[in-house]
Amino acid sequence: MAEQIRVWKSKNLRSTYMLVYRDELTGRLRVTRMDGTKCTNEKSIIKGHESHSGGLWTVCRDMGNDVAEIRAAVDREIAEETAQREREELRLKAEAEAKVKALQEAQEIRAALAGMKDSVCLKPIEVLQRYDLLEEHLEQLKPGEYAVCINYRKKGTVELRTKARTTDHLKVLAKVTKEERNSKAALHRFAVKVREAYQSGIVIIGKTHALQSFGKKLVDAVPYIKESKNLYFSSAAPRRYYDKNTLVYMKLEQIEQNDN
């Protein structure tokens, strides 16, 4: 009886290899382990591939002309996959270690900078949506009183300064005080006051409204102040919101430049 021989490979993490024989005359298949012993789940393997065009035989690979050659090829493939898996494990381990190191370094830098600055610049989204980032920035400030400002010339950047006065491009919102005590609770109270001050000086509009009123070029040039999930379409991009006052200033500045 003349038989063709191919190799079936499972899709498990650590793949199982089987020898698949096909009778050239009848097309009948039989499955054995790589060492030639009987495969106890032969029927389930064959049946499990009935939905494929051509069945199990079509998903098998030709890896050699005889069993010895096939076994050598399988051994090489297993060795290559094992080496690849080990490299990937080492890569993931190195990445994890690098993240831990970077976090430690960032914490050390934060600790070194804590209470050293008398001014700080913040992105609007860090103030309105990210308490964690807001507190990181505020931690660097010395204890004392600060003016919370919106700098329209810097596209709505939020600034905390010890001294500030309202000008055409700088809006002073409120005075806030950072406590002497250096605790998480005190820092969070300070962050809450900064956010409340910022919220008192903005007019929030959605991106659609912003595009209709100010145009895409201007909206793209101004940072959004917060974003939220789209409740109507889960696959849609997050909804973004802008400060209308910043857009108005930028628009007026644009008109003034065009007139000149």
CA atoms within 13 A on the CB side of 173: 22
Q: What is the pLDDT of residue 234?
A: 65
Q: What is the pLDDT of residues 72-129, one digit of tens each?
A: 999 999 999 999 999 999 999 999 999 999 888 877 776 666 668 899 999 999 999 9
Q: What is the pLDDT of residue 186?
A: 93
Distances (CA, A) of 14 to 64, 72, 78, 101, 194: 22, 18, 9, 32, 55
CA distance 170 to 158: 10
Strand 144-151 to 170-178 pairing: antiparallel
Is this structure's pTM higher than 0.75?
no
Give me the residues of the chain with pLDDT under 50, please: none
Contact (CB, 8 A) for 74 and 10: no
Q: Is 184 helix (H, G, I), strand (E, B) or coil?
A: helix
3-state DSSP of 75-109: HHHHHHHHHHHHHHHHHHHHHHHHHHHHHHHHHHH
Nearest CA among 12, 74, 10, 36 for reference residue 21: 36
Widest Cα–Cα separation across the chain? 98
